[in-house]
Amino acid sequence: MRSKDKARLCTDLVRISDQIGILSNERPKLILDRKEMQNLILSRHIRDTGNPIHDKSVAGYGQCEWCIRTIFVDAGKQYYQRKRYGGRKFNRYIYRRKVKVTYKDKLHVLVHELVHYRWAYLSHGRQFEKRTSEVIRGRRFEPKHVHLFANYPKSYRALIDG
């Protein structure tokens, strides 16, 4: 990906974080290089356990490491297309490696990972896709401490947002 688009992704991270209510001191770090993310995962595992891991794999297009406040969006040269399927009310996306990636696809991955970061209790499904599309359309959410309730059970964190 061009350096111009990488800088654009960084500015979009700030804009979308403010839009969905992530406070500026809790904003996640954005990593755009797969090798850098692999090294971060390896160093974190060595720090926590003292043993190196054999599998330091990173998810396909993006990954949210909530515990270390890091989001990975693969900005390398890829070929995939985001294809929509499902009914009018329930939209899901599948990724096929056919078409050269566009900035809009990378932005969708960034929003997807930010939704994972802000609403950690949401798992993939209808509500998750609804929230992702709301963010893309521009809905604003009130600010909230993302890590304030990190040690609380998932069911309690779901009730905090109302």
Tokens 């947002």 locate to: 161
Residue-number span of the structural domain to which 82 is assigned = 3-152
What does the pLDDT look like over 69-128, one tens digit per residue?
889 988 776 655 555 565 555 566 655 555 567 888 889 999 999 999 998 888 888 999
Is residue 108 a part of any domain in this protein? yes
The DSSP-derived string for 89-127 is S--EEEEEEEEE--HHHHHHHHHHHHHHHH-TT--SSHH
Structure tokens at 89: 């009310």
Asked, for residue 101, whether it belongs to a domain, the answer is yes
Summarize pLDDT for 124-156 with one digit per residue, the tens: 889 999 999 999 999 999 888 776 655 566 665
pTM for the model: 0.76
Residue 37 lies in a domain: yes
Nearest residue to 56 via CA among 39, 76, 33, 75: 39
Q: Is 22 a member of any domain?
A: yes
Does a structural domain hold residue 7?
A: yes
pLDDT in tens, 27-77: 999 998 888 888 888 887 777 777 766 666 676 788 888 778 889 988 776
Within a domain: 147 = yes
> Do residues 131 and 115 touch, judged by C-beta distance below 8 A?
yes
Distance between CA atoms of 21 and 155, rounded to whole angstroms?
20
Domain total in the chain: 1
In a domain, 160, yes or no: no
Considering the domain boundaries, does residue 53 fall inside one? yes
